[in-house]
Amino acid sequence: MPFQAIVRAAGSLAAAAVVIAAMGSGAAQAKSELLVYTAIEADELSMFKREFEKDYPDVEIKWVRDSTGIITSKLLAEKDNPKADIVWGLAATSLMLLADYNYFQPYAPKGVEMLDAKFRDPADPPTWVGQRAWIASVCYNTVEAAKHNLPLPTTWADLTKPVYKGHVVMPNPNSSGTGFLDVSSWLQLHGEAGGWKFMDALHQNIAWYTHSGSKPCKQAAAGEIPIGVSFAYRGAKLKNQGAPVEVIAPSEGVGWDVEAFAIVRNAKNLDGARKLADWSVSRKANEIYNMEYAVVAMPGVAKAVKNFPPGIEGKMIRNDFAWAAKNRLRILDEWRNRYDAKSEPKK
Protein backbone atom coordinates (compact mmCIF):
# COMPACT_ATOMS: atom_id res chain seq x y z
CA MET A 1 0.00 0.00 0.00
CA PRO A 2 2.58 2.60 0.99
CA PHE A 3 4.40 1.92 -2.28
CA GLN A 4 1.26 2.70 -4.27
CA ALA A 5 0.74 5.83 -2.20
CA ILE A 6 4.22 6.96 -3.09
CA VAL A 7 3.64 6.30 -6.78
CA ARG A 8 0.37 8.18 -6.64
CA ALA A 9 1.97 11.11 -4.85
CA ALA A 10 4.82 11.18 -7.36
CA GLY A 11 2.31 11.07 -10.20
CA SER A 12 0.33 14.02 -8.90
CA LEU A 13 3.54 15.93 -8.23
CA ALA A 14 4.66 15.33 -11.82
CA ALA A 15 1.28 16.48 -13.08
CA ALA A 16 1.53 19.61 -10.98
CA ALA A 17 5.00 20.22 -12.33
CA VAL A 18 3.72 19.92 -15.89
CA VAL A 19 0.92 22.38 -15.14
CA ILE A 20 3.31 24.83 -13.52
CA ALA A 21 5.77 24.52 -16.39
CA ALA A 22 2.95 25.10 -18.88
CA MET A 23 1.83 28.17 -16.97
CA GLY A 24 5.40 29.38 -16.89
CA SER A 25 5.88 29.00 -20.59
CA GLY A 26 2.46 30.54 -21.15
CA ALA A 27 3.59 33.57 -19.21
CA ALA A 28 6.82 33.58 -21.19
CA GLN A 29 4.82 33.61 -24.40
CA ALA A 30 2.70 36.44 -23.13
CA LYS A 31 5.77 38.51 -22.35
CA SER A 32 9.18 37.56 -23.66
CA GLU A 33 12.15 39.17 -22.00
CA LEU A 34 14.52 41.06 -24.28
CA LEU A 35 18.04 41.73 -22.96
CA VAL A 36 19.14 45.09 -24.39
CA TYR A 37 22.66 46.50 -23.89
CA THR A 38 22.66 50.26 -24.23
CA ALA A 39 24.67 53.43 -23.61
CA ILE A 40 21.67 55.79 -23.76
CA GLU A 41 21.50 58.23 -20.86
CA ALA A 42 19.77 56.89 -17.75
CA ASP A 43 17.10 59.61 -17.70
CA GLU A 44 15.75 58.66 -21.18
CA LEU A 45 15.51 54.90 -20.79
CA SER A 46 12.19 54.56 -19.01
CA MET A 47 10.41 56.53 -21.73
CA PHE A 48 11.80 54.33 -24.52
CA LYS A 49 10.79 51.20 -22.65
CA ARG A 50 7.26 52.49 -22.00
CA GLU A 51 6.65 53.57 -25.61
CA PHE A 52 8.07 50.39 -27.15
CA GLU A 53 6.14 48.07 -24.82
CA LYS A 54 2.95 50.00 -25.57
CA ASP A 55 3.37 49.00 -29.24
CA TYR A 56 4.67 45.48 -28.58
CA PRO A 57 3.03 44.33 -25.35
CA ASP A 58 4.42 40.80 -25.82
CA VAL A 59 8.04 41.95 -25.33
CA GLU A 60 9.53 43.21 -22.11
CA ILE A 61 12.78 45.15 -22.29
CA LYS A 62 15.45 44.51 -19.71
CA TRP A 63 18.13 47.20 -19.89
CA VAL A 64 21.82 46.69 -19.28
CA ARG A 65 23.09 50.24 -19.25
CA ASP A 66 26.50 51.81 -18.88
CA SER A 67 28.64 54.48 -20.51
CA THR A 68 29.93 53.90 -24.05
CA GLY A 69 33.42 52.81 -22.98
CA ILE A 70 32.25 50.48 -20.24
CA ILE A 71 29.44 48.84 -22.20
CA THR A 72 31.84 48.29 -25.12
CA SER A 73 34.40 46.62 -22.87
CA LYS A 74 31.63 44.54 -21.29
CA LEU A 75 30.53 43.38 -24.73
CA LEU A 76 34.12 42.63 -25.71
CA ALA A 77 34.67 40.65 -22.53
CA GLU A 78 31.68 38.52 -23.45
CA LYS A 79 32.63 38.14 -27.10
CA ASP A 80 33.08 34.35 -26.90
CA ASN A 81 29.69 33.90 -25.32
CA PRO A 82 27.51 36.97 -25.89
CA LYS A 83 24.70 37.44 -23.41
CA ALA A 84 22.78 40.33 -24.99
CA ASP A 85 19.95 39.90 -27.50
CA ILE A 86 20.47 43.28 -29.10
CA VAL A 87 22.85 46.20 -28.64
CA TRP A 88 20.81 49.36 -28.93
CA GLY A 89 21.85 53.02 -28.71
CA LEU A 90 25.61 52.52 -28.86
CA ALA A 91 28.14 54.44 -30.98
CA ALA A 92 28.34 53.02 -34.51
CA THR A 93 32.17 52.96 -34.30
CA SER A 94 31.87 50.71 -31.24
CA LEU A 95 29.44 48.45 -33.11
CA MET A 96 31.87 48.23 -36.03
CA LEU A 97 34.66 47.28 -33.67
CA LEU A 98 32.46 44.52 -32.25
CA ALA A 99 31.37 43.46 -35.73
CA ASP A 100 35.00 42.51 -36.41
CA TYR A 101 34.50 39.71 -33.88
CA ASN A 102 31.47 38.46 -35.80
CA TYR A 103 29.31 39.73 -32.98
CA PHE A 104 26.15 40.49 -34.96
CA GLN A 105 23.72 39.11 -37.49
CA PRO A 106 22.51 41.35 -40.33
CA TYR A 107 18.84 42.29 -40.40
CA ALA A 108 16.90 44.80 -42.47
CA PRO A 109 14.19 46.27 -40.21
CA LYS A 110 10.84 47.02 -41.86
CA GLY A 111 11.11 50.53 -43.29
CA VAL A 112 14.91 50.84 -43.07
CA GLU A 113 14.88 52.19 -46.65
CA MET A 114 13.21 55.35 -45.34
CA LEU A 115 16.33 56.33 -43.40
CA ASP A 116 19.10 58.67 -44.47
CA ALA A 117 21.81 56.52 -46.08
CA LYS A 118 24.58 57.93 -43.90
CA PHE A 119 22.79 56.58 -40.83
CA ARG A 120 23.13 52.90 -41.73
CA ASP A 121 25.58 50.21 -42.64
CA PRO A 122 25.80 50.37 -46.47
CA ALA A 123 25.69 46.55 -46.71
CA ASP A 124 22.36 44.94 -47.57
CA PRO A 125 20.92 43.72 -45.26
CA PRO A 126 22.69 46.10 -42.85
CA THR A 127 24.53 44.87 -39.75
CA TRP A 128 23.91 48.10 -37.88
CA VAL A 129 21.23 50.76 -38.26
CA GLY A 130 21.53 54.27 -36.86
CA GLN A 131 18.99 56.09 -34.74
CA ARG A 132 20.22 59.61 -34.20
CA ALA A 133 23.39 61.68 -34.38
CA TRP A 134 25.46 62.60 -31.41
CA ILE A 135 27.33 65.74 -32.34
CA ALA A 136 30.39 67.46 -30.91
CA SER A 137 29.95 70.95 -29.51
CA VAL A 138 31.72 73.37 -27.24
CA CYS A 139 30.23 74.52 -23.92
CA TYR A 140 31.18 78.02 -22.88
CA ASN A 141 30.46 79.37 -19.40
CA THR A 142 29.55 83.03 -19.82
CA VAL A 143 30.05 83.95 -16.15
CA GLU A 144 33.52 82.44 -15.81
CA ALA A 145 34.57 83.59 -19.29
CA ALA A 146 33.72 87.17 -18.31
CA LYS A 147 35.85 86.83 -15.18
CA HIS A 148 38.85 85.76 -17.26
CA ASN A 149 38.05 88.05 -20.25
CA LEU A 150 37.69 85.15 -22.64
CA PRO A 151 35.97 85.99 -25.94
CA LEU A 152 33.32 83.62 -27.32
CA PRO A 153 35.13 81.12 -29.57
CA THR A 154 33.39 80.39 -32.87
CA THR A 155 35.93 78.09 -34.52
CA TRP A 156 38.14 75.20 -33.43
CA ALA A 157 41.15 77.32 -34.40
CA ASP A 158 40.03 79.95 -31.87
CA LEU A 159 40.57 77.45 -29.07
CA THR A 160 44.29 77.28 -29.85
CA LYS A 161 44.77 81.01 -29.17
CA PRO A 162 46.99 81.80 -26.18
CA VAL A 163 44.16 83.65 -24.41
CA TYR A 164 42.49 80.32 -23.65
CA LYS A 165 45.57 78.72 -22.09
CA GLY A 166 44.54 76.47 -19.18
CA HIS A 167 40.85 77.28 -19.67
CA VAL A 168 39.78 74.38 -21.90
CA VAL A 169 39.06 70.74 -21.08
CA MET A 170 38.21 67.90 -23.45
CA PRO A 171 37.53 64.17 -23.07
CA ASN A 172 40.37 61.68 -23.34
CA PRO A 173 39.69 59.78 -26.59
CA ASN A 174 41.12 56.63 -25.03
CA SER A 175 38.15 56.38 -22.70
CA SER A 176 35.46 58.58 -24.23
CA GLY A 177 33.53 58.03 -27.44
CA THR A 178 33.01 61.79 -27.67
CA GLY A 179 36.75 62.36 -27.34
CA PHE A 180 37.40 59.93 -30.16
CA LEU A 181 34.88 61.52 -32.51
CA ASP A 182 36.52 64.91 -31.89
CA VAL A 183 39.98 63.59 -32.71
CA SER A 184 38.74 61.62 -35.70
CA SER A 185 36.90 64.68 -37.04
CA TRP A 186 39.95 66.92 -36.76
CA LEU A 187 42.06 64.34 -38.60
CA GLN A 188 39.40 64.11 -41.32
CA LEU A 189 38.98 67.90 -41.58
CA HIS A 190 42.66 68.81 -41.78
CA GLY A 191 44.25 65.57 -42.98
CA GLU A 192 46.50 63.57 -40.68
CA ALA A 193 49.43 65.97 -40.50
CA GLY A 194 47.24 69.05 -40.18
CA GLY A 195 45.01 67.37 -37.61
CA TRP A 196 47.91 66.46 -35.31
CA LYS A 197 49.34 69.95 -35.75
CA PHE A 198 46.02 71.43 -34.62
CA MET A 199 45.90 69.09 -31.61
CA ASP A 200 49.49 69.96 -30.67
CA ALA A 201 48.41 73.59 -30.47
CA LEU A 202 45.17 72.79 -28.66
CA HIS A 203 47.06 70.63 -26.17
CA GLN A 204 48.93 73.74 -25.02
CA ASN A 205 45.62 75.19 -23.82
CA ILE A 206 44.07 72.07 -22.30
CA ALA A 207 43.87 72.12 -18.50
CA TRP A 208 43.09 68.41 -18.23
CA TYR A 209 41.53 65.57 -20.19
CA THR A 210 38.43 63.94 -18.68
CA HIS A 211 37.37 60.31 -18.66
CA SER A 212 33.87 60.88 -20.02
CA GLY A 213 32.42 63.00 -22.81
CA SER A 214 29.78 64.76 -20.76
CA LYS A 215 32.10 65.81 -17.96
CA PRO A 216 33.74 68.74 -19.81
CA CYS A 217 30.36 70.35 -20.35
CA LYS A 218 29.21 69.63 -16.81
CA GLN A 219 32.42 71.13 -15.47
CA ALA A 220 31.92 74.15 -17.70
CA ALA A 221 28.35 74.48 -16.44
CA ALA A 222 29.61 74.39 -12.86
CA GLY A 223 32.30 76.97 -13.61
CA GLU A 224 35.12 74.59 -12.72
CA ILE A 225 36.52 75.43 -16.15
CA PRO A 226 35.26 78.11 -18.58
CA ILE A 227 35.26 75.98 -21.76
CA GLY A 228 34.51 72.30 -22.22
CA VAL A 229 34.64 70.32 -25.48
CA SER A 230 31.64 68.02 -25.24
CA PHE A 231 28.50 67.19 -27.23
CA ALA A 232 25.45 69.21 -28.19
CA TYR A 233 22.78 67.21 -26.34
CA ARG A 234 24.58 67.57 -22.99
CA GLY A 235 25.16 71.30 -23.51
CA ALA A 236 21.58 72.02 -24.54
CA LYS A 237 20.25 70.02 -21.63
CA LEU A 238 22.40 71.86 -19.09
CA LYS A 239 21.43 75.21 -20.59
CA ASN A 240 17.76 74.22 -20.36
CA GLN A 241 18.32 73.48 -16.69
CA GLY A 242 19.55 77.04 -16.21
CA ALA A 243 23.34 76.67 -16.28
CA PRO A 244 25.11 79.79 -17.60
CA VAL A 245 26.46 78.12 -20.75
CA GLU A 246 26.43 78.82 -24.47
CA VAL A 247 26.54 75.78 -26.76
CA ILE A 248 28.74 76.40 -29.80
CA ALA A 249 29.19 74.39 -32.99
CA PRO A 250 32.56 75.54 -34.40
CA SER A 251 32.31 76.70 -37.99
CA GLU A 252 34.96 74.41 -39.56
CA GLY A 253 32.63 71.47 -38.99
CA VAL A 254 31.86 69.17 -36.11
CA GLY A 255 32.53 65.49 -35.54
CA TRP A 256 29.64 63.17 -34.91
CA ASP A 257 28.81 59.57 -34.38
CA VAL A 258 25.60 57.64 -34.71
CA GLU A 259 23.74 55.97 -31.91
CA ALA A 260 22.84 52.70 -33.54
CA PHE A 261 21.62 49.18 -32.92
CA ALA A 262 22.64 45.69 -34.07
CA ILE A 263 21.23 42.25 -33.32
CA VAL A 264 23.60 39.84 -31.57
CA ARG A 265 24.55 36.71 -33.53
CA ASN A 266 23.20 34.21 -30.98
CA ALA A 267 20.25 36.30 -29.74
CA LYS A 268 18.09 34.12 -27.52
CA ASN A 269 15.04 36.29 -28.17
CA LEU A 270 15.53 36.90 -31.89
CA ASP A 271 11.87 37.65 -32.44
CA GLY A 272 11.87 40.34 -29.75
CA ALA A 273 15.14 41.80 -31.04
CA ARG A 274 13.65 42.12 -34.56
CA LYS A 275 10.54 43.76 -33.16
CA LEU A 276 12.65 46.35 -31.35
CA ALA A 277 14.68 46.86 -34.55
CA ASP A 278 11.47 47.42 -36.57
CA TRP A 279 10.12 49.81 -33.97
CA SER A 280 13.40 51.73 -33.81
CA VAL A 281 13.25 52.80 -37.47
CA SER A 282 9.58 53.85 -37.28
CA ARG A 283 8.46 57.44 -37.54
CA LYS A 284 7.21 57.34 -33.96
CA ALA A 285 10.61 56.25 -32.63
CA ASN A 286 12.31 58.98 -34.66
CA GLU A 287 9.95 61.55 -33.20
CA ILE A 288 10.93 60.39 -29.72
CA TYR A 289 14.65 60.59 -30.62
CA ASN A 290 13.99 64.15 -31.69
CA MET A 291 12.73 65.21 -28.26
CA GLU A 292 16.34 65.57 -27.07
CA TYR A 293 18.48 65.24 -30.22
CA ALA A 294 18.22 67.60 -33.18
CA VAL A 295 19.44 65.21 -35.88
CA VAL A 296 17.72 61.85 -36.36
CA ALA A 297 17.94 59.04 -38.91
CA MET A 298 14.61 59.61 -40.69
CA PRO A 299 14.71 62.68 -42.95
CA GLY A 300 11.97 65.26 -42.53
CA VAL A 301 11.07 64.30 -38.96
CA ALA A 302 13.37 66.52 -36.92
CA LYS A 303 12.14 69.73 -35.40
CA ALA A 304 14.48 72.22 -33.75
CA VAL A 305 15.53 71.28 -30.21
CA LYS A 306 15.71 74.11 -27.70
CA ASN A 307 19.22 75.48 -27.22
CA PHE A 308 20.86 73.19 -29.77
CA PRO A 309 23.39 75.25 -31.73
CA PRO A 310 21.48 76.59 -34.77
CA GLY A 311 22.45 75.08 -38.13
CA ILE A 312 24.43 72.29 -36.54
CA GLU A 313 23.21 69.75 -39.10
CA GLY A 314 24.94 71.68 -41.86
CA LYS A 315 28.19 71.66 -39.93
CA MET A 316 28.37 67.89 -39.53
CA ILE A 317 31.48 66.67 -41.34
CA ARG A 318 31.41 63.95 -44.00
CA ASN A 319 32.27 61.25 -41.52
CA ASP A 320 34.07 58.15 -42.82
CA PHE A 321 33.09 55.65 -40.13
CA ALA A 322 34.89 52.75 -41.79
CA TRP A 323 38.14 54.74 -41.81
CA ALA A 324 37.65 55.78 -38.19
CA ALA A 325 36.92 52.24 -37.01
CA LYS A 326 39.82 50.79 -38.99
CA ASN A 327 42.36 53.33 -37.71
CA ARG A 328 40.95 53.67 -34.22
CA LEU A 329 43.70 51.86 -32.31
CA ARG A 330 46.49 53.52 -34.28
CA ILE A 331 44.99 56.99 -33.65
CA LEU A 332 44.49 56.28 -29.96
CA ASP A 333 48.09 55.05 -29.54
CA GLU A 334 49.42 58.11 -31.33
CA TRP A 335 47.25 60.37 -29.20
CA ARG A 336 48.42 58.73 -26.01
CA ASN A 337 52.07 59.01 -26.95
CA ARG A 338 51.69 62.68 -27.81
CA TYR A 339 49.49 63.98 -25.01
CA ASP A 340 49.11 61.46 -22.22
CA ALA A 341 52.77 61.23 -21.23
CA LYS A 342 52.63 64.57 -19.48
CA SER A 343 53.90 64.23 -15.95
CA GLU A 344 52.90 67.59 -14.53
CA PRO A 345 49.52 69.23 -14.83
CA LYS A 346 49.50 72.62 -16.46
CA LYS A 347 49.48 75.56 -14.16
Partner 1 sequence: MANHAVAVAAPVRPKVGREDWTMRGLILVIAAYLVVAIVLPLYAILSKSFENADGQFIGLANYAEYFATPALAYSIENSLTVTLISTVITVTLAFVYAYSLTRSCMPFKGLFKGLALIPILMPSLLPAIALVYMFGNQGFINELLFGESIYGPIGIVMGECFYVFPHALMILLIALSTSDARLYEAAQSLGAGRIRTFFTVTLPGVRYGLVSAFFVTFTLVITDFGVPKVIGGQYNVLATDVYKEVVGRQDFEMGAVVGMVLLIPAVLAFFADRIVTRKQVALLSARAVPYEPRPSGPFDTAMLGYCAVIGFILVFVLGVAAYASFVTFWPYNLELSLNNYQFDLMDGGGWASYGNSVEMAAWTAVVGTAVIFGGAYLVEKSKGFRAGRAAMQFLCMIPMAVPGLVLGLAYVFFFNAPGNPLGGLYHTMAILVICTVTHFYTVSHLTAVTALKQMDPEFEAVSASLKVPFYKTFWRVTVPVCTPAILDISMYLFVNAMTTVSAVVFLYSPDTALASVAVLNMDDAGDIAPAAAMGMMIVYTSAAVRVLHAVLTRGIARRSQAWRRR
Q: Which is nearer to partner 1, 8 or 336 (CB)?
A: 336
Q: Which of 1, 5, 77, 193 binds partner 1 (CB under 8 A)?
A: 77
Q: Is 225 in the site for partner 1 (CB under 8 A)?
A: yes
Tell the smallest beta-carbon distance from residue 239 to partner 1 (Å). 13
Task: Give the x/- contact pattern for partner 1 in 126-165, rule: CB under 8 A.
Answer: -----------------x----------------------
Contacting residues for 322 by C-beta, under 8 A, at least 6 apart? 96
Cα distances (angstroms) measured from residue 126 to each of 52, 117, 277, 318 = 22, 11, 12, 20
Q: Choose among 341, 301, 271, 346: nearest CA to 133.
A: 301
Q: Is the CB of 26 or the CB of 345 nearer to partner 1?
A: 345
Q: Is the peptide bond before 125 cis (omega within 30 degrees of 0)?
A: yes
Query: Of these, 32, 67, 204, 307, which contacts partner 1 (CB under 8 A)?
Result: 67
Which parts of the chain fold into alpha helices (H)? 2-30, 42-55, 68-77, 92-99, 142-147, 177-203, 215-221, 232-240, 270-280, 283-289, 312-315, 321-339
- Smallest separation, CB 132 to partner 1 (Å): 19
CB 131 within 8 A of CB 172: no
Strand-strand pairing, 104-105 and 256-264: antiparallel
Which is nearer to partner 1, 86 or 298 (by Cβ)? 86
Considering only the stretches 153-161, 218-226, 262-270, 294-302, report the one whose residues sit in contact with partner 1 under the rule CB under 8 A: 218-226
Q: Which is nearer to partner 1, 2 or 43 (CB)?
A: 43
Q: How far apart are CA 248 and CA 309, in angstroms?
A: 6
- Give strand pairing partners of 263: 86, 105
Distance CA 128, CA 119 (A): 9
Do 218 and 119 contact (CB within 8 A), yes or no?
A: no
Interior angle at CA 305, CA 180 and CA 132, nearest 5: 45
Decide whether 172 or 286 has the Cβ nearer to partner 1.
Answer: 172
Q: Which of 9, 14, 70, 123 binds partner 1 (CB under 8 A)?
A: 70
Tell me: does residue 211 bind partner 1 (CB under 8 A).
Answer: yes
Which 39-58 positions form the footprint of partner 1 (CB under 8 A)? 41-43
| Shortest reach from residue 334's CB to partner 1, in Å | 11
> Which stretches of the chain bind partner 1, using CB under 8 A?
41-43, 63-67, 69-70, 72-73, 76-78, 80-81, 83, 143, 172, 174-176, 207-212, 214-219, 222-225, 242-244, 332, 336-337, 340-347
